[in-house]
Amino acid sequence: NAGVTQTPKFRVLKTGQSMTLLCAQDMNHEYMYWYRQDPGMGLRLIHYSVGEGTTAKGEVPDGYNVSRLKKQNFLLGLESAAPSQTSVYFCATRLAGGPEETQYFGPGTRLLVL
Amino acid sequence: KNQVEQSPQSLIILEGKNCTLQCNYTVSPFSNLRWYKQDTGRGPVSLTIMTFSENTKSNGRYTATLDADTKQSSLHITASQLSDSASYICVVSLNSGTYKYIFGTGTRLKVLA
């Protein structure tokens, strides 16, 4: 029972390159989220999904795309990376239901864009 | 504007001492408030959750309080241990939608031997 895993753990990109971050969960959670964490700022929501095949924009979606083809996986794509996307990216999952449900976070992906 | 502010930004204490972290929020409509612990290089892990009607919640040596009137919360750590060194994040959930969480910037705690 791995919980929430993220791949890769660390990546260096050059400006303009593309990449995909993978979030996988084995808890059968309906909701999945992608956040970014930057120094001096709280976690900010990029995109989220409330179920397989559905995605929605969060607070800072520009420059990112997502897909949720399978319930257990949530992919975050950067089509043309920019230095401003240097950050630590966290995936989170939770059960459907009320706001009292706990979010479970992955270990993070550290991305450096040169 | 929905906001969560935490203080202090950072704190250094000696092992065995107690400390209190603060969280002030202006979030509406309020649903609940959580405290998370985030170890360096790891994702946040939930410590406590309090709804509007709860004013205290404990989890081992961690005790959280909530004053819904003043919109303040505190996290008290008793008899600190080296393993308590981490960032502590206050998060407020809105009582609407499926994704509305407002995260504070966190307090970085360092416990020294």
pLDDT digits (tens, 9 = 90+) for A11-64: 999 999 999 999 999 999 999 999 999 998 889 999 999 999 999 999 999 999
Q: Given CB atoms, is B59 within the 8 Å cutoff of chain A?
A: no
Query: Min CA distance, A75 vs chain B (Å)?
Result: 17
Give the model confidence (pLDDT) of A76-102 as tens digits: 999 999 999 999 999 999 998 877 888
Q: For residues B3 and B23, what is the distance between their CA atoms, to the nearest angstrom?
A: 10
Q: Given CB atoms, is A92 within the 8 Å cutoff of chain B?
A: yes
Residues from chain B that touch A49, judged by Cβ atoms under 8 A, are: none
Q: Which of B91, B98, B108 is best to mutate for the A interface (most A CBs within 10 A)? A: B98
**Per-residue pLDDT, A96:** 86
Residue B4 has its nearest CB partner, among A4, A42, A100, at A42
Query: Min CA distance, A23 vs chain B (Å)?
Result: 13
Cα–Cα distances (Å) from B58 to A99, B50, B65, B74, B88, in that order, read 20, 10, 9, 12, 15
Residue B93 has its nearest CB partner, among A44, A48, A99, at A99
Query: Min CA distance, A80 vs chain B (Å)?
Result: 26
**Per-residue pLDDT, B99:** 65
**Per-residue pLDDT, A87:** 97
Given a cut of 70, whether residue A1 has pLDDT beyond it is no
- Say if the Cβ atoms of A100 and B104 lie within 8 Å: no
**Per-residue pLDDT, B20:** 98
Query: What type of residue is B63?
Result: T
- Say if the Cβ atoms of B43 and A33 lie within 8 Å: no
Range of lowest pLDDT (A2-11, B5-14, B22-31): B22-31
Q: Which of A34, A41, A43, A101 is best to mutate for the B interface (most B CBs within 10 A)? A: A43
Contact status, residue A35 vs residue A45, Cβ threshold 8 Å: yes
Query: Min CA distance, A42 vs chain B (Å)?
Result: 4
Structural tokens at position B84: 């308590």
**Per-residue pLDDT, B2:** 87
A28-50 residues labelled b (16+ CB within 10 A) or e (exposed)? ebbbbbbbbbeeeebbebbbbbe
The DSSP string of A58-70 is -SS-TTEEEE-SS
Residues from chain A that touch B49, judged by Cβ atoms under 8 A, are: 100, 102
Angle ∠(A85,A88,A92) on CA atoms, nearest 5:
115
Dihedral sign, Cα of residue A64, residue B91, residue A103, residue A86: positive
Q: For residues B40 and A22, what is the distance between their CA atoms, to the nearest angstrom?
A: 21
